[in-house]
Structure 1
Amino acid sequence: MQKLSAALRCSVSRQAHREEGQALLEFALVFPLFVLLIFATIELGWVGYQHISFEYACSHANWGYVKEKYKDAGDYADTAPTDINSGVDTVVKKAITDSGWFGMDASKLVVSGAEVTLTSTSSSFDVPNYDKKPHDATQYTRHMHVRATISYRVKPLVGLFITEHGMERTVDYDQIIGQQRRSY
């Protein structure tokens, strides 16, 4: 009986030792794949975030330009500039970095060929007065057209899956930066 009990203990001990080795081998094979999946998810999320941040910043750069250059967007005088080419690159770059979320690196951002065209339009119409007679009124509208080529270098966090690559976008926006109505 003792021999049988010793043989069973020895058999169970060898079986437990074999199972421990098998679990260690499975862990050694699966753990690197798990780490790889975690890093790939983080990396793709980071690069996707930078792409979205870049698109957001580009679409809002024109508003930043208005705030930077024209504190009074209601300047409707004919003497106001119509075509602006000098200094626009730096103002658009500043507008992009100011409107970008966390992660936009200004040293990797290149703005080229930026130009702004400002135009004024007016339309006349009649407005009723207190004596119920129509009076002439004019609505002045200031339009801004921004065009620029914007490039940004995206740097991944780890760099195992995705290498550093560039994004380029040509922005071409028209917007109304102010309106005034005047009656005479």
Structure 2
Amino acid sequence: MLMSKLVNKSKKEKGQAMVEFAIVLPLFLLIVCFLIDVSWVVYNKVQFDYSLRKMAIQLDLGPQQKHALHTNQSYIVDGGWANTHIRDMYEKNVEEMGAPIDVSRVTIENSRIAVLAGKREFNYGVPDGTDKDRANSKFKTTTMEIASDVKYKVYPITPFSKPFLKDGVELKNNLYKIRRIELVGGKNQQW
């Protein structure tokens, strides 16, 4: 008798379960797709930042850089040539890395590349302070400064997020990198 009530009750609830399923399934799919798209944007941000940092470390001005090092004169480039040079190096770097970045959606503006010969003074401090001769010593060195405003537009990959993010998400990086360069044995040495 008790069993028959449970069986009859389950027949009545079949329609209710279908209605609940019809309500919950789209919400569940929306949440899952949102998580996928947020993960996609975060992954692209990490790849974008890493590829820019790697490009800035490997950037080379070629003969102009060597001339500045040999003559101990500063060399500063900005504007269109610097934008184009950074873009070319960035495209090459992304291709070498195999990063999933569509370089056609990358904009590079306000670039400045400077080789400053003997202009920057650095303080060198030994972390544990054991070497008293080298602790807090100062030295001048030739540095390369790279500055640029870089933007990258990322679009969602799931169909549920596209109506909400139809314009995409713009990732920004205000690139500013200083690195030491020297001529050692006639070769361009970068640190």
Provide the TM-score with structure 1 as the length reference: 0.67
Q: 1:108 aligns with which of 83, 87, 105?
A: 105
Aligned-partner SS, 2:70: coil
Q: 2:24 aligns with which of 7, 21, 30?
A: 30
Give, in whole Å, the separation in 2 of the partners of 1:149 and 1:16: 63
Pair 110,96 (structure 1): closer, same or farther in 2 beyond 3 Å:
same
Pair 168,104 (structure 1): closer, same or farther in 2 beyond 3 Å:
same
The answer to whether the 8 Å contact 1:150/1:169 transfers is yes
The answer to whether the 8 Å contact 2:41/2:154 transfers is yes
Give, in whole Å, the separation in 2 of the partners of 1:151 and 1:12: 62
Aligned-partner SS, 2:59: helix
Query: Counterparts in 2 of 1:160-175, with a 5 A limit?
Result: 160-163=163-166, 164-175=168-179
* Structure 2 segments unaligned to the other structure (5+ residues): 120-138, 187-191
The answer to whether the 8 Å contact 2:142/2:182 transfers is yes
The answer to whether the 8 Å contact 1:140/1:180 transfers is no
* Structure 1 segments unaligned to the other structure (5+ residues): 123-138
Aligned residue pair count: 157
Give, in whole Å, the separation in 2 of the partners of 1:117 and 1:62: 12
Aligned-partner SS, 1:60: helix
User: What is the CA-CA distance between 1:14 and the residue it aligns to?
Assistant: 4.5
What residue in structure 1 maps to residue 151 of structure 2?
151
What residue in structure 1 maps to residue 42 of structure 2?
48
Give, in whole Å, the separation in 2 of the partners of 1:90 and 1:46: 28
The answer to whether the 8 Å contact 2:73/2:116 transfers is no
Give, in whole Å, the separation in 2 of the partners of 1:39 and 1:119: 49
One-letter amino acid of the counterpart of residue 19, structure 1: E
Give, in whole Å, the separation in 1 of the partners of 2:72 and 2:111: 22
Rg: which structure is higher? 1
Cα RMSD (Å)? 3.5
What residue in structure 2 maps to residue 57 of structure 1?
51
Identity, % of aligned positions: 18
Give, in whole Å, the separation in 2 of the partners of 1:58 and 1:23: 52
